[in-house]
Chains A and B, each alone.
Chain A
Amino acid sequence: MTTSTRSRGGDAISAPGRRRRSSRRPPRGSGLPAWAVPYLLLVPGLLVIAALLLYPLIQMGIMSFQKINLRVIRGAAEPEWVGTGNYEQILDNELFWSSLRNTVLFAVVTVSLTLVIGTAVGVLLNRLGRKMSITLTVGIMAAWAVPPVAQGVIWRWLFDAEAGIVNWSLNLLPDWLAELVLGRSDFTGDPWLNDPFRVYVVLVIAVVWASFPFIAVSVLAGLKGIPTELYEAARVDGSTGWRTFWKVTVPLLKPVFAVLTILSIIWDFKVFAQLYVLLGGTAGNREAFNLSLFSYAEAFNPPPKMGTGAAIAVVLTVILLIITAVHVRQIVKQEELT
């Protein structure tokens, strides 16, 4: 009696459990054990990542210790090991140091400007009326969408010495003011893209112009996610707009800013196309190179020195890896990779 009751009770308990389990279990029929399915789905992706990203990355590391000249590229000779020769060579090269300085300074200035302007525009978008907000979004989207090469082309045109609109506008300044601030009053024919510093002025403007929209739209998305009760509470407590921004908005958007900062740094460290167009290729004006252009020029300008190019790329990659480590930690912390 007791036994049967227990067994019936056991049945009663286990039956729904079993049903639930069976409903969770994917159907059979594909002939695959369930554990194998995710791995199978990952195979093509893993193959691509391994073959096209990880393997070349390792090869680049190896090549940075080799001498790879035209004969090796043609397959007529084996690469020659040179130890740390390539690194010693680039560390001795003044162009490496100017490229490194250009890369870092450009990233610092551009990231700061992009974040400040982007955030300001994001806040602005959030406070505008509906129609104005949509119009402005469409406007900044257009800037964001312009392909990097076309960005270079457009800004090179705007800063053209003779027919560029920037020099035309500078001519509009009152002569005494222009003389005082910029040291000259007639800008027609004044070239922007010869002197490295002025090249970077143009590059900063071009890249900020193209990248602040992303920050603005992301900040806007973050702002929309903040519950309005928090602002009401702040208002009831007598907080002013500026104070509310720093005490409510900024802390809540901190994770968004963290991700945006890291992404911006990574992107701005790797700028290639815009600078390539502004400099008109990698043939001249080498003082204006950043690490990307320097690596490319070493490896592909005749005579090709791919080992040295690889060594420069290693330096750039290591810098980016360190920054990315921070980024990955941030993301892992935020969402536990769900």
Chain B
Amino acid sequence: MTPLARRRLGKIALNTVAVGVFLFAIFPVYWMVATAFKANDQIFTTEFIPFPTHFTFDHIDRVLSEGVAGNSIWVYMRNSAIVALGTVLVASAFALLAATAVARFAFKGRTAFLITLLIVQMIPSEALLIPLFLSVKRLGLFDQLLGLIVVNVGLTLPFGIWMLRTFVAAVPKSLEEAAWIDGASRMTTFWRVLFPLVAPGLVATSIFSFITAWNELIFALTLMNESSGYTMPVALRFFFGQRGTDWGGIMAASTMMTIPVIVFFLLVQRRMVSGLVAGAVKG
């Protein structure tokens, strides 16, 4: 075989594998969406129906009007959005302050703080669940979205700071020094110089916090009692009923829950990776 032919063959092999991986990755997602738009006779069948030929919006309509567990899916989407946005607002502000401290100042206890950040990220939710459940009850935040927001701020903040500090550190210090020389105050320097330059990193960090809070299951399961306060992850389980599963409905709801996350992911994937393995990737 000539080298050219061999290279061409290698390329074909590579691309074939790539197509295989692509199908493995995308098929379950596609199957979720396809099922959401299939009529029931095409869902509950032992045959393979690759496309919804009896295309229908019935399931979408049903989960929006009838919903599940007594509420429209909108209620759960709204709850999830409130919790996620509330978490993002608080966690991002706190993360920005702390990240600035860590990335811009040398102070006693800095290393200890960074190590604490790493360690608390490993704590499993189950370990916090029981004490926080009792505290939330005692504080009268049980069954309130606010309680869920507070808990999610705690869950997302350590990684938020960890991720954001690399973005703050990446802004050249000389820019702030130039502003100081020109007589700008510390606050002005922060808002007019540092903040605009860190903004993309702040967006990435916020999206990460949003996704974490949006996906959170364990606390949403334990801290909310009334069904009108459920978030999407909790609501999904009610499609699995005694009389069988409403697969069309659950796939419609799952699709609605998943699409925003996929869009966000595609927007920030590059930054998220750099934040997760910060410092490990060096040329």
Interface residues of A (CB under 8 A from B): 23-27, 29-30, 35, 37-39, 41-42, 44-46, 48-49, 51-57, 59-60, 63, 68, 73, 75, 121, 124, 127-129, 132, 135-150, 153-155, 157-158, 160, 162-163, 165, 168, 188, 209, 213-214, 217-218, 221-222, 225-227, 255-256, 258-260, 263, 266, 269-270, 272-273, 276-277, 280-281, 291-292, 295-296, 299-300, 306, 309-310, 312-314, 316-317, 320-321, 323-324, 327-328, 331-332, 334-335, 337-338
Contacts and interface: CB of A to CB of B under 8 A. Distances in A.
A168 B46 CA distance: 7
A316 B128 CA distance: 12
Nearest to A265: B122
B5 interface: no
B44 interface: yes
A80 B127 CA distance: 20
16 contacts: A26-B189, A38-B110, A44-B97, A49-B120, A142-B262, A145-B265, A147-B215, A149-B236, A150-B254, A154-B31, A154-B32, A214-B276, A226-B283, A272-B125, A296-B126, A331-B118
Interface string B161-190: 100000001000000010011011111010
Given A57-B128, A256-B277, A316-B127, A147 B46 contact: no
B46 A26 contact: no
A55 B236 CA distance: 32
Interface residues of B, number: 107
Contacts of A128: 14-15, 18
A296 B220 CA distance: 13
A111 to B, nearest CB: 15
B114 interface: yes
B25 A139 contact: yes
Contacts of A334: 279-280
B48 A165 contact: yes
Nearest to B185: A29
Interface stretch (B53-61, B64-72, B149-157, B198-206): B149-157
B98 A44 contact: yes
Nearest to A312: B126
A296 B246 CA distance: 26
A45 B128 contact: no
Interface string B1-18: 000000000000011011
B273 A214 contact: yes
A27 B122 contact: no
Contacts of B177: 23-24
Contacts of B146: none
B224 interface: no
The 5 closest A-B pairs by CB, nearest first: A52-B154, A45-B98, A335-B279, A41-B101, A38-B105
Contacts, number: 321
Given A132-B18, A316-B124, A163 B273 contact: no
Contact of B186 (A29, A46, A55, A188): A29
A154 B28 contact: yes
Question: B interface, by DSSP: helix, strand, loop or mixed?
Answer: helix
B120 A149 contact: no
Given A41-B105, A52-B150, A75-B138, 11 more contacts: A53-B128, A53-B158, A57-B131, A73-B137, A142-B26, A142-B265, A154-B28, A255-B281, A273-B215, A321-B122, A327-B122
Contacts of A75: 138
A258 B114 contact: no
Contacts of B280: 222, 255-256, 258-259, 331, 334
Contacts of A317: 123-124, 127
B261 interface: yes
B21 A124 contact: yes
Given A59-B131, A150-B258, A272-B218, A48 B25 contact: no
A273 B137 CA distance: 23
Contacts of A132: 15, 18
Contact of A141 (B180, B187, B266): B266
Nearest to A155: B28
Contacts of A154: 28-29, 31-32, 254
Contacts of B111: 337
Given A143-B29, A158-B28, A313 B127 contact: yes
B97 A136 contact: no
Given A56-B132, A165-B48, A313 B124 contact: yes
Interface string B208-242: 00010011011000100000000011001100100
B232 to A, nearest CB: 8
Interface string B26-55: 101101100100000001111110000000
Contact of B273 (A139, A221, A295): A221
Interface string B96-130: 01101110110100110111111110111111111
Highest count of chain B CB atoms <10 Å: which of A38, A168, A209, A226: A38
Given A135-B22, A136-B22, A260 B277 contact: yes
B247 A63 contact: no
B130 A310 contact: yes
B83 interface: no
Given A57-B128, A165-B48, A272-B217, A300 B258 contact: no
Contacts of A124: 14, 17-18, 21
A212 B17 CA distance: 15
Contact of A23 (B43, B138, B181, B258): B181
